[in-house]
Amino acid sequence: MTRPMNPIPIPVVVVLIFAALAAAEIKTLTLTDDNRPMILFEKFGFTHTGHAAISVTGVSVYTSLPAPPDPSRLGFFLLSEESLVQILSDLQRDPEQQSSFCILDSPSIKPLFNFRSLSPPPHASYNQSYPVSSPDEYLLYFANCAPDSRVSMAVRTELFNLDPDGSRDYLSAGVTRLPSLFTFFAIAYLVFLGYWIHYCLQNKGSVHRIHLLMSGLLLMKALNLICAAEDEHYVKVTGTPHGWDVLFYMFQFIRVVLLFTVIVLVGTGWSFLKPFLQEKEKKVLMIVIPLQVLANVASVVIGETGPFLRDWVTWNQVFLLVDIICCCAIIFPLVWSIRSLRETSKTDGKAAKNLAKLQLFRQFYIVLIGYLYFTRIVVFALKTIAAYKYRWVSNAAEELANLSFYIVMFYMFRPVESNEYFSLDEEEEREAEMALRDEDFEL
Same domain, 353 and 237: yes
Residues near 52 by beta carbon (within 8 Å), at least 6 away in sequence:
44, 46, 78, 112, 129, 130, 132, 140, 157, 158, 159
For residues 35 and 162, the answer to whether their CB atoms sit within 8 Å is no
Residue 103 scores a pLDDT above 50 = yes
Residue 94 scores a pLDDT above 90 = no
Do the domain assignments include residue 1? no
In whole angstroms, what is the distance from residue 32 CA to residue 15 CA?
A: 24
Lowest mean pLDDT among 25-39, 127-141, 279-293, 400-414: 279-293
Reduced to 3 states (helix: H, G, I; strand: E, B; else coil), residue 36 is coil
Above pLDDT 90, what percent of the chain? 47
Q: CB 180: neighbour CB atoms within 10 A? A: 12
Greatest mean pLDDT range, 17-31, 112-126, 289-303: 112-126
Above pLDDT 70, what percent of the chain? 83
The larger pLDDT score, comparing residue 121 to residue 388, is at 388
Report the pLDDT value the prediction gives residue 352, as an integer from 0 to 100. Answer: 56
Q: How confident is the model at residue 15 (pLDDT cuts 50, 70, 90)?
A: very low
Report the pLDDT value the prediction gives residue 167, as an integer from 0 to 100. Answer: 94
* Nearest one of 144, 175, 103 to 394, comparing CA atoms: 175
* Nearest one of 155, 135, 78 to 112, comparing CA atoms: 78
For residues 74 and 111, the answer to whether their CB atoms sit within 8 Å is no
In this prediction, residues 404-420 reach a mean pLDDT of 84
Q: Is the dihedral angle over the CA atoms 288, 292, 293, 298 positive or is it negative?
A: positive
* Nearest one of 206, 217, 308 to 263, comparing CA atoms: 217
* Nearest one of 103, 88, 131, 89 to 37, comparing CA atoms: 103
Q: Tell me the pLDDT tens digit for each residue of 69-79.
A: 999 999 999 99
Last residue of a domain, one of 169, 198, 230: 169
Q: Is the dihedral angle over the CA atoms 315, 316, 320, 321 positive or is it negative?
A: negative
Residue 411 scores a pLDDT above 50 = yes
For residues 238 and 244, the answer to whether their CB atoms sit within 8 Å is no
In this prediction, residues 300-309 reach a mean pLDDT of 70
Report the pLDDT value the prediction gives residue 149, as an integer from 0 to 100. Answer: 93
Look over the chain and give the mean of its residue pLDDT values, rounded to a whole number.
83
In this prediction, residues 26-48 reach a mean pLDDT of 90
In whole angstroms, what is the distance from residue 47 CA to residue 359 CA?
A: 52
Same domain, 187 and 287: yes
Same domain, 239 and 377: yes
In whole angstroms, what is the distance from residue 282 CA to residue 288 CA?
A: 10
Do the domain assignments include residue 3? no
Q: How confident is the model at residue 423 (pLDDT cuts 50, 70, 90)?
A: very low
Q: How confident is the model at residue 314 (pLDDT cuts 50, 70, 90)?
A: confident
In whole angstroms, what is the distance from residue 257 CA to residue 254 CA?
A: 5
For position 54, which CATH number holds? 2.60.120
Reduced to 3 states (helix: H, G, I; strand: E, B; else coil), residue 8 is coil
Lowest mean pLDDT among 11-20, 191-200, 432-441: 11-20
From first CA to last CA, the distance across the chain in angstroms is 63
How far are the Cα atoms of 33, 64, 123 from residue 146, in angstroms, in the given order? 14, 11, 21
Same domain, 334 and 274: yes
In whole angstroms, what is the distance from residue 5 CA to residue 91 CA?
A: 11
Q: Is the dihedral angle over the CA atoms 303, 399, 381, 393 positive or is it negative?
A: negative
Report the pLDDT value the prediction gives residue 422, as an integer from 0 to 100. Answer: 39
Q: How confident is the model at residue 9 (pLDDT cuts 50, 70, 90)?
A: very low
Report the pLDDT value the prediction gives residue 270, as an integer from 0 to 100. Answer: 84
Dihedral of CA atoms 333, 336, 338, 341 in degrees, nearest 10, equals: -120
Same domain, 231 and 348: yes
For residues 153 and 56, the answer to whether their CB atoms sit within 8 Å is yes
For position 224, which CATH number holds? 1.20.1070.10
Residue 404 scores a pLDDT above 80 = yes
Q: Tell me the pLDDT tens digit for each residue of 150-198.
A: 999 999 999 999 999 999 999 999 999 999 999 999 999 999 999 999 9
Treating both helix axes as pointing N-terminal to C-terminal, what angle do 244-268 and 392-412 enclose, rounded to 10 degrees? 40
In whole angstroms, what is the distance from residue 143 CA to residue 5 CA?
A: 10
Do the domain assignments include residue 375? yes
Same domain, 101 and 197: no
Same domain, 206 and 103: no
Same domain, 341 and 371: yes
The larger pLDDT score, comparing residue 203 to residue 347, is at 203
Same domain, 16 and 105: yes
Do the domain assignments include residue 48? yes
Last residue of a domain, one of 169, 190, 205: 169
> Domain span at residue 415?
178-441
Q: What is the largest distance, in Å, between two alpha-carbon atoms of the chain?
A: 95
If one counts the domains in the chain, the total is 2
Do the domain assignments include residue 364? yes
In this prediction, residues 282-304 reach a mean pLDDT of 81
Same domain, 140 and 216: no
* Nearest one of 212, 229, 217 to 189, comparing CA atoms: 217
Same domain, 165 and 192: no
Residue 221 scores a pLDDT above 90 = yes
For residues 153 and 58, the answer to whether their CB atoms sit within 8 Å is yes
Same domain, 183 and 164: no
Report the pLDDT value the prediction gives residue 299, as an integer from 0 to 100. Answer: 76
